[in-house]
A and B are shown apart, each in its own frame.
Chain A
Amino acid sequence: MSHLLLAADSVKLNTGNTAWVLTSAALVLLMTPGLAFFYGGMVRSKSVLNMLMLNFICIAVVGVIWAIYGFSLAFGSSHLGGFIGGSHELFGLGNPDVLSGFWSSAGVPIVVFAMFQLMFAIITPALISGAVADRTKFWGWTIFIAIWVTVVYLPVANWVFGTGWILNKLHAEDFAGGTAVHTNAGAAGLALAIVMGKRVGWRKDPMKPHNVPFVLLGASLLWFGWYGFNAGSEGAADNIAGLAFTTTTVATCAGVLGWLLVEQLRDGKPTTVGAASGAVAGLVAITPACAFVSPLGGIAIGLIAGALCAMAVGLKYRFGFDDSLDVVGVHLVGGVAGTVLIGFFGFDHGAATPGGLQRGLFYGGGIDLLEKQVVAAGSVMLYSFVLTFVIGTVLKRLGAFRVSEEAEVSGIDEAEHAETAYSFSTVLSGGLTGQAAGAAASTSPTTREKVDA
C-alpha cells in the first residue's frame, strides 16, 4: 500500500482489484456480527442481547463517524510528525477526487478503499466489548466507542495503515492490523476491565457460556470474514493476496490444534469453546504476519499462538481482573505474539512495504526487524491502554458506564433493553391462549398505555 494518489492520471481503474476489495469489505463487515455471536454464546442467557447490541452498535456509530471525518483523519496527509492524518478533500467523502482518484497504483478507487478500511474501524472497538460483558450500559458504551474511535483508533490506524510513523518512519511490518486492531483492542480491553471492575459474583457464581453452538458459529463466521481482512489488505487480487489467504488458513488450523493440545494435556478434554478460541487465536496472530511469512512460518505462528493464548486466558484469575471473555488473553497476547513473531519468521518473498523487503531472525535478517516489531507493538499497547483508562474512568465517574448491581443480577437485557432473548415458556409469552400477554398488560396500566400508543 502506498500513499493517496488523488486524481492520478498515471493510474487506471483495475476492475479485478476493485471487485476483490469491495468483496473483502463485505467479508470484513460480516466479522462484527460473527464476533457478536462468538461473544454472545459465551455470556449467560440473561445478557446475550446486550452483548449482541454492544457489537452491532459499533457498525452504526463508526459507519457515520468514518464518512464524516474518520477516513480523513486516519488516511489523509500526515500531521504532527506522523501522529495523525487529515485532508480536507477527504472529509465527508464527497469530494469528486474521492470517486475518481485512486488509493494506490493497484487502481482501486479511494472510495472503495475507504469502505474497506471502515470495516476495520468497526470491528476494533467491537472486540473490546468482550472485556466488559454482562455489566455495561448501552448508551455509555455507545459514547465510549465514539470517543475511543476518534482519539485512539484513528491515530493508531494512521500510524500503521496510513501516512503515520509506524509504517513510514519506523518501517515495522503489520500487514492487516496485528497492532492497530488486535493489540489496540486487547490493551483497551485490559484497561476497561480494570476500570469497570468485576462482575457481581465473579469467581463465586458459575458464569458458564449459555450457548456453545453460537460460539463455534461465530468463530466460523469470523474465519470466513477474515479472508477479506487479511487477503483483502493486499488491496489487489494478486499472488500476495494468495499468500495471505494461504498463511491465514494454515495458521488458523494450527491455532485450533495448539489450543486443543494444551486443553488435552491440562484439563483432560478437548472442548468446543477451546476449538473456537484456538481458531480466533490463530487468526489474530497471523493477521500482521500473513503476507510476510511462508506457509510453514504461518503454521508455526498459529501453533504458538493457539497454545500461548490457551495458557494466557488464565492470567485474569492470577491478577484478579474480570476480562470476561478473554480479550486480553486472545487479542492482546495473540496480537503481540503475531507482530513480534514477524521478527523471527519474516521471509523475503512476501509483500513489499515502505520499509522494503525485510527478513526476520530465522531468515538471516538479524534482530533489526524484531526490534521494530517490538517498538510498534509496545507503542500501540501503551497508547491504547493509557487513553482507554482515562476515557473509561471519566465515563464511569459520571455514572454512565456500569449498570446497577440490581440490574446486573436480574439481567442486563431486561434492564437496558426491555427484552429477553429466549421466551421458551408458552405460559409466560402468552403462546397458550394468546390472551396471557394482554392479561399481564392489563395489570399494569402504564405498560398498557405504551402498547396502545
Chain B
Amino acid sequence: MRLVTAVIKPFKLDDVKAALEVLGIQGLTVSEVQGFGRQRGHTEVYRGAEYTVDLVPKVRIDVLVDDFDADKVVDAVVEAARTGKIGDGKVWVTAVETLVRVRTGERDADAV
C-alpha cells in the first residue's frame, strides 16, 4: 500500500476531492495545516505595527491506496490542484507497512 499526501491551496479541495471520487477512491483524510514554501507569507499591519505572517494556511489530504493506483492518484491530484501560480503545494508518496480496518480487522490490501 501507499500513502499519497498532498498539501494544496485550500480553495482547491473540492476540485481534488471530485477528481479522486471519479477515480473511485473510497476515503481520504483532510487536515488544515500551515506552512511555507517559495510562496512565503504576507504582512499585516495593526495600529501601524507590521507583523510578518510567514506561515500560509493550506489543506493537507492523505489517501491510502493500492500500490498500482498511486501514480493515477498523484496525477489526478496534481491536475486538479494546479493553478499555475506560486503556492500550489506538493504531492508525495510514502510506502505503508501495515494497514488494518478497525471495524472488521481486515488487513493490508483488503483494508484499503
Contacts and interface: CB of A to CB of B under 8 A. Distances in A.
Interface of A: 206, 208-209, 263, 266-267, 269, 271, 273-274, 277, 310, 313-314, 317, 326, 329
A267 B50 CA distance: 9
Contacts of A206: 51-53
Candidate in B45, B48, B51, B52 with the most chain A CB atoms within 10 angstroms: B48
B46 A209 contact: yes
The residue in B45, B46, B50, B53 that gathers the most chain A C-beta atoms within 10 A of its C-beta is B46
Contact of A277 (B44, B47, B53): B47
A208 B48 contact: no
A313 B46 CA distance: 10
A206 B46 CA distance: 11
A266 B50 CA distance: 12
A266 B48 contact: yes
Nearest to A311: B48
Most chain A beta-carbon contacts within 10 A, residue among B46, B47, B51 = B47
A274 B53 contact: no
Given A206-B52, A263-B48, A271-B45, 19 more contacts: A206-B51, A206-B53, A208-B46, A208-B51, A263-B45, A266-B48, A267-B45, A267-B50, A269-B45, A273-B46, A273-B47, A274-B47, A277-B47, A310-B47, A310-B48, A313-B47, A314-B48, A317-B49, A329-B47
Contacts of A313: 47-48
Interface string B50-62: 1111000000000
Nearest to B47: A313
Interface residues of B, number: 10
Of all A-B residue pairs in the complex, the 8 with the closest CB atoms, nearest first, are: A206-B51, A267-B45, A313-B47, A314-B48, A273-B46, A208-B51, A209-B46, A313-B48
21 contacts: A206-B51, A206-B52, A209-B46, A263-B45, A263-B48, A267-B45, A267-B48, A267-B50, A271-B45, A271-B46, A273-B46, A273-B47, A274-B47, A277-B47, A310-B47, A310-B48, A313-B47, A313-B48, A314-B48, A314-B49, A329-B47
A44 to B, nearest CB: 12
Contacts of B48: 263, 266-267, 310, 313-314
Contacts of B53: 206
Contacts of B50: 267
Interface of B: 44-53
B33 to A, nearest CB: 16
Contacts of B47: 273-274, 277, 310, 313, 326, 329
A374 to B, nearest CB: 28
Contacts of B44: 208
B52 to A, nearest CB: 8
Nearest to B48: A314
A264 to B, nearest CB: 11
B37 to A, nearest CB: 20
A294 to B, nearest CB: 31
A263 B50 CA distance: 12
A258 to B, nearest CB: 14
A259 to B, nearest CB: 9
Contacts of A266: 48
Nearest to B52: A206
B77 to A, nearest CB: 28
Contacts of B52: 206
Nearest to A309: B47
Contacts of A208: 44, 46, 51
Contacts of B45: 263, 267, 269, 271
A116 to B, nearest CB: 32
Contacts of B51: 206, 208
A273 B46 CA distance: 7
A411 B53 CA distance: 21
A74 B44 CA distance: 45
Nearest to B44: A208
A322 to B, nearest CB: 12
B108 to A, nearest CB: 29
B40 to A, nearest CB: 15
Contacts of B46: 208-209, 271, 273
A426 to B, nearest CB: 15
Nearest to A273: B46
A56 B8 CA distance: 44
